[in-house]
Structure 1
Amino acid sequence: MRTTLLALAGSTAAQSLLPSNPGGAVAVGIQAPSYAGFNNATIGISRGGLAVCVSGTFPVTANTTRNIKFNYKLPQNQSQVTETFVEIATDGSPLVEQIVGGLQSAGGTFSIGGTLCTPANDTAPKGVQLLTHGVGFDRYYWDFAPGYSYVDAAVQNGYAAFFYDRLGVGVSEQPDALNVVQAALEVEIAHELACMLRNGTYSNNKFEDVIGVGHSFGSIITQAVTSEYPSAFDAAILTGFSVNSTALPVFLTALNLAIAGENQPYRFPAVPAGYLVSGTAISNQIGFFRAPGFDPAILALAEAMKNTVTLGELFTTAAVVAGAPGYTNPLAVVNGAEDLPFCFGNCSYPTNKAAMVQLALYPNVSSSNFGTYLAPVTGHGLNLHYGAVGAYHYIQSFLKEHNLGL
């Protein structure tokens, strides 16, 4: 089924978004990235064929004292899962306050899955974009289908792209869904990855510029890195993000979250308790898409490829967002103009919600170092819309204007 859907996604409409160089193998004479730093490594190309990539797993050691201890028993059935999110969305509900029981330590060495891509024209980039995906997807949100690949856009503009499965997602390790896989620990993992990219851990490449790029929960993680570790990123791009969280309960309810092993028994037969997925393609459309700005084949592919989220992540979504007075490097906020969870469906009303990020969180980022872009007729899943191409061009132009990776 997935092969058929990928073929549909590579239709004329999709291909027109970004140039592509289709093919199933690395071209003769092109130097693939080294296996260094990767276990069980494989070499391949990006969806549109503009990048040559190495994929595998690798250990990441990360620790935090800021995970939250929850006085909450994992749901034993779907009814309990549904009731949890109905309670969260209920006005005046004390659920969140009742279940928070202080802070706890979490961490260790985790197996993480990831991919490093470099341009297929055999250049050696000085800059790498560290791509952190959001809820409902795995790393391939960034390299989704021919014509819908942020990776292709980045490498076409001379950057390397490093994208990974967050802890608990895809081929990455799947530890305890409540106490371990939370936002605070994932911030530490992202920071460690940034340091490892700068230090030459992967493919023996010591990148001069490390650019943090996130989507949704991945932007929350990226933003928290800029707050806790202001020098980790030479620039940060936050997509699907704002400081307006009023629509998050609506978003979570709309996703109709389901126990992963029951909703997708063939894909997730052995995930631990507390791992969830969106309920149906309709749930996916409400949360991530906006018509008529997408190809129905892409929605079908998103449903077929949907991935897990933990209760610990959902309970700590807003716990790590904080002011970043020490961060002064370039920053851009890029949203679908009709993003549901972070804009309640309208990122321009009553003001530009992307622009408010600088005022609320980044007092020392100058106006010359800050930018925003709202992709028209585009929902929360920015990369899966026709409008993605404009957002891709804006981001790469923004980085070049600030001489990053050049």
Structure 2
Amino acid sequence: MLDSSDQYFSYWDSPYNNFNYSYVNTAVDQYKYSTLAIDRLGIGNSSHGEPLNEIQAPIEIAAIAALTKMLRDGTFPGVKQIKKVVHIGHSFGSGQTYNLVNMDPSSSDGIVLTGFSGNGSFVPVFGAGANFVQANDNQPFRLGSKIMGYSSVTNAYGALDYDAALPTPLNYPNGYLANANINSNQYNFFLPKFFDLGALVAGEQTKQPVTPGELLTLGSVPMMNAYAGPVLVITGQNDVPFCGGNCLATGDPMLASIPAAVKKSFPNAGDNFEAYIQPNTGHGLNFHYNQTGTYDVINCFLNGKGLASS
């Protein structure tokens, strides 16, 4: 959603799960930001590029940089020139945000890295938990090319759902991957007892694919970042891919949390850096009961840094 306000707020998705737009709704309705949601390449209305050598993190970062420049220059179609830009990413999107502001510190007036830390040692656990398979085989009637002769599709549990509307097949080629099933989705994104089962089912039914090219360029993040603006890292306490299931298990009594160590990567940010651990939450912050608390932390941080919508 875009309007002519002076404040602009940008979000792009994690490659492993669809983004729950309740946060965007909160930013727009409650905090009056203008927003733009940026799909990864190969998602949404994007063409399905070659999944190994084409759909990779560097080209996605370049695309985000180009879109940001258009907003600042006033050349984005149908949008008034934007004076302030805030970038917010989740998981892989946080890594893209991190790289973007390192390459061009002037590109953003503030960044929020959700579902993120600087510790990549747990990513193999995440990969094993996902048990990636061919997306077009995993959901052949949505992500593949199969069309059934009657109105029924497989639900999140793999059974036929005769009440569901027949989808238009997205026709992903071989090479695009998806997590194996609802159990792998739950393991990687959801903390038991702190989410509604309906959120898990919806997440599995609407999940988006990822490419090997993205997974292999996931770790292309520089240790030190040149950015000096406001930085908030907010991660669920029980995040699997970036904390191994416990963000407080630092092994260092002087370190408050694993995401807090990201401060060392932003030597120019100083007091503009903050790390926050959201309790009773897994990697998918938007899918848990206390998601509104997450949104309040993010927006209060931005407001406190002079980035409230004007």
Shorter-chain TM band: 0.7 to 0.9
Question: Identity of aligned pairs, percent?
Answer: 37
TM alignment of 1:121-200, pairs within 5 A: 124-138=4-18, 141-143=19-21, 149-155=22-28, 156-200=30-74
Asked if the contact 1:358–1:370 (Cα under 8 Å) also holds between the matched residues in 2, the reply is yes
Distance between the aligned counterparts of 1:215 and 1:117, measured in 2? 21
Within a 5 Å distance, the mapping from 1:63-102 to structure 2 comes to none
Measure how far apart 1:322 and its partner are.
Answer: 4.2
Query: CA 1:290–1:135 in 2, change beyond 3 Å: closer, same or farther?
Result: same
Contact 1:169 1:309 in 2 (8 A): no
The separation in 2 between residues aligned to 1:169 and 1:204, in whole angstroms, is 23
Partner-residue secondary structure (3-state), 1:187: helix
Q: Tell whether the 8 Å contact from 1:224 to 1:322 is kept in structure 2 after alignment.
A: no
Q: Which runs of structure 2 are paired with 1:7-406 in the superposition (5 Å)?
A: 116-117=1-2, 124-138=4-18, 141-143=19-21, 149-155=22-28, 156-200=30-74, 201-269=76-144, 270-325=171-226, 327-350=227-250, 351=255, 352-359=257-264, 361-367=265-271, 369-404=272-307, 405-406=309-310
Displacement after TM superposition at 1:387 (Å): 2.2
Alpha carbons 1:378, 1:385 under 8 Å: kept: yes
Cα distance in 2 for partners of 1:323, 1:173 equals 34
Moved over 6 A (4+): none
Q: CA deviation at 1:178?
A: 0.4
Contact 1:184 1:320 in 2 (8 A): no
Q: How far does residue 273 in structure 1 lie from its aligned partner after superposition?
A: 2.1
Q: CA deviation at 1:255?
A: 0.5
Residue 107 of structure 1 corresponds to none
Shift of 1:320: 3.4
Per-residue deviation at 1:170? Answer: 2.5
- Three-state SS of the structure 1 residue aligned to 2:183 is helix
Task: For residue 321 of structure 1, report the CA deviation from its aligned partner.
Answer: 4.0
The size of the alignment, in residue pairs, is: 276
Q: CA deviation at 1:393?
A: 0.3
Q: Secondary structure at the match of 1:220?
A: helix
Give the CA deviation at 1:164.
2.0
Name the structure with the higher strand share.
Answer: 1
| Alpha-carbon displacement from aligned partner over 1:213-272 (angstroms, at most 9, x marks no partner) | 000000000000011111100000000110111110010110111101111111122212
Offset from partner CA, 1:13-47 (integer Å, 9 cap, x none): xxxxxxxxxxxxxxxxxxxxxxxxxxxxxxxxxxx
In 1, Cα distance between equivalents of 2:143 and 2:72: 34
User: Which one is further off, 189-198 or 275-284?
Assistant: 189-198
Higher RCO (CA-CA < 8 Å; seq separation 6+):
2
5+ residue gaps, structure 1, are: 1-115, 119-123, 144-148
Q: Distance in 1 between matches of 2:274 and 2:25?
A: 22
CA RMSD of aligned residues (A): 1.3
For 1:198-221, what per-residue CA distance to the aligned partner results, in whole angstroms no more than 9, with x for missing partners?
223143221111101000000000
Give the conservation status (yes or no) of the 8 Å contact 1:213–1:222: yes
The CA distance in 1 between the partners of 2:107 and 2:10, in whole Å, is 11
Give distance in 2, aligned partners of 1:321 and 1:125: 34
Q: Secondary structure at the match of 1:335?
A: strand
Match of 1:192, SS? helix
SS in 1 for 2:259: coil
Return the letter of the residue paired with 1:353: I
Unaligned runs of 5+ in 2: 145-170
Residues 71-113 of structure 1: CA deviation (Å, up to 9, x unaligned)? xxxxxxxxxxxxxxxxxxxxxxxxxxxxxxxxxxxxxxxxxxx
What SS does the corresponding residue of 1:131 show, helix, strand or coil?
A: strand
